[in-house]
């Protein structure tokens, strides 16, 4: 029986939450179930592996993994599942997140991680991309995405400059 969320949002530290909370906010707009958890590739490796290995069996369809610095969480997730893994590099404490971006994006061939932008834009787009993945087999969700784009388009066109 599927007991898990459609999307799992993992992050290496509670300090990532301020940025990553944008992801569940977006998923909620689309009525997509999710679970947000702190699990670290380095600090809680066994628990991270156990959680990821069980994800597909729980009915989860997409994993979002965020980490900063030597950001190995998304790659470690990819190593333990064939579910799509979307990586979000956190800005962290140095190098403005370039370290996390490169750590997340430079996966070896055969082990893909879809890497988004650094920080909040990446958190938002990871959630939207997760919805887009789910929408390939869900017509109602696909329509919601089209409506969302249309709302944004109208908002931009209505913007006035001083």
User: Binder to ligand RP5 among 22, 36, 40, 115 (CB under 6 A)?
Assistant: 40
User: Binder to ligand RP5 among 5, 24, 68, 122 (CB under 6 A)?
Assistant: 68
- Dist. CA 101–CA 85, nearest whole Å: 15
The vertex-14 CA angle with 82 and 148, nearest 5°, equals 60
Closer Cβ to ligand RP5, 69 or 114, answer by number: 69
Closer Cβ to ligand RP5, 85 or 90, answer by number: 90
- Dist. CA 91–CA 98, nearest whole Å: 8
What residues numbered 87-106 form the site for ligand RP5, per CB under 6 A?
90, 92
- Dist. CA 14–CA 110, nearest whole Å: 30
Stretch that binds ligand RP5, among 2-10, 67-75, 108-116, 126-134 (CB under 6 A): 67-75
- The least CB distance from residue 46 to ligand RP5, in Å, is 16
- Dist. CA 121–CA 90, nearest whole Å: 11
User: Binder to ligand RP5 among 67, 126, 127, 133 (CB under 6 A)?
Assistant: 67
If you count them, how many residues does the chain have?
A: 162
- Dist. CA 72–CA 81, nearest whole Å: 15
Q: Give the footprint of ligand RP5 on this chain (CB under 6 A).
A: 11-13, 15-16, 40, 67-69, 90, 92
């Amino acid at each position: 029986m599927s007991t898990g969320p459609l999307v799992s949002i993992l992050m290496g530290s509670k300090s990532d939450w301020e940025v990553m909370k944008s992801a569940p906010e977006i998923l909620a707009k689309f009525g997509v179930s999710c679970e947000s958890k702190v699990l670290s590739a380095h600090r809680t490796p066994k628990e991270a592996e156990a959680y990821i290995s069980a994800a597909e069996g729980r009915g989860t369809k997409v994993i979002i993994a965020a980490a900063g610095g030597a950001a190995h969480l998304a790659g470690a997730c990819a190593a333990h599942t064939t579910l799509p893994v979307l990586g979000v590099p956190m800005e962290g404490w140095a190098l403005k997140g370039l370290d996390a971006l490169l750590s997340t994006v430079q996966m070896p061939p055969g082990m893909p991680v879809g890497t988004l932008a650094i920080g909040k834009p990446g958190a938002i787009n990871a959630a939207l991309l997760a919805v887009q993945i789910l929408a390939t087999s869900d017509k109602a969700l696909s329509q919601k995405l089209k409506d969302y784009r249309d709302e944004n388009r109208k908002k931009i066109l209505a913007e006035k400059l001083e």
